[in-house]
Structure 1
Amino acid sequence: MKTHEVIKPKCLIVDDEPLARDVLRRYCNKLPVLHLVGECSNAIDAYLFLQTNEVDILFLDIRMPELLGTELVQSIKNPPKVIFTTAYKEYAWDGFELDAVDYLLKPIRFDRFLKAVNKALPGLENVLLTNESFEMERKSGIDSIYLRIDRKQVRIVLDEILYIESDKDYIKIFTQEKMYLCRQTISSIESMIDKSEFVRIHRSFIVPIKKIKSYTHELVEINKKELPIGKFYLNHFLKIVATGAS
């Protein structure tokens, strides 16, 4: 072996959502210091994989069918460094009780992913990307999210959203073609989408900035639909539309 070769930390992705695995795979491939050795769609397959394969970093979803990510970690005698991933903030404490390196909330931003990797691999300067690469990744962002609708994980393309409306414990996502009804809070959706692309204008409404046709201090017009601007959100909204950034 050449003397200058570096042994790369081995990583395993475990998540039952295809989109989540795609995002993590892309992020891992952008960091030359990491070596992605496998992907599993459930914790049971991951358990079997770990019996015969050495892994340094485990990107692990918490909420999965049959066996939770936290239960997987508890079943392993000498678990690797664990970076938990989930769409549910309430699972954070369970993860940290198991000495996880970090906890990433979906949809995972590249800057948070990079921060978590640096926690797992302190002192490895080649983890850091150039500013140009980081800016390109930041701008590329995430173009869709998966939401549980009618017992299925449904892909919602962010660019197709006209506006999002809260209705008690549900949200309505309106697109040009149809309306999606999902049992989720508007605050949880707000945390999943890019704040440079969307702005909350009311306790019950979130809108995509580039689809705003016109506005006053009371109303926003999108696709011939007028939506109210709440007094609490007005100043922030005016700042966003004036600068074009959050």
Structure 2
Amino acid sequence: MIQCIAIEDEPLALSQIESYIKKTPFLELVDSFDNALEALEFLDSQPIDLIFTDINMPDLNGMEFVKSLRNPPKVIFTTAYEEYAIEGFKVDALDYLLKPIGYPDFLKSANKAKTWFDSQQVKPIETTSNDDFLFIKSEYKVIRVNFADIKYIEGMREYVRIHLTHGKPLMSLMSMKKIEEHLPKDQFMRVHRSFIVNLSKITTVEKSRIIFDENIYIPISDQYKDAFQAYLDKFFL
């Protein structure tokens, strides 16, 4: 399932997008908003896969909203103005839906999103590990990943993305629970249902977020906050 949010300041248009998402089998509507500022606050603590957003909105328009995101999900823009199409693709939008939007056009865009997400997945991996590294079997390759090279691990529903200090992330069809079982508990901690962090890579904590760099903010959810605070307290002067 592709987790989605919808942003639209017109109630009827928002209701329409909500109904289209709900009737599409591979999409899941996580939440909807009538302004981009509320959506911005939501995304601070809730990673999702795909955003359907109008461009023309008060306070913060859809284009400015997407450009402001540090870790932007994939985006499909909806608007009544055709001239925004080129600008939309400049921010790596998956597609552009011109109002009024019929379900056939919506489904075509949704299928385009599904094709993109499917292309990011690889075959399931098997893992073996010891105190220093993890062996990952992916398709016909066996890849050694040193624990010291892992910055954080991101759960994306059916698969995980292992973010490394160098190089591209490794992706695999695997649950967060399974990868967590293979990680040393004194080096890694789950701080959110979608994130496991390498404790040795943490340099800055701000409010309820771990900041790895100016573009990467990892939320600390209430469920894991006490355990994370206990870890910090051990080294706090």
Give the structure-1-normalised TM-score. Answer: 0.46
Give the structure-2-normalised TM-score. Answer: 0.48
* More strand, by proportion: 2
Q: Based on CA coordinates, which of the two structures has the bigger radius of gyration?
A: 1
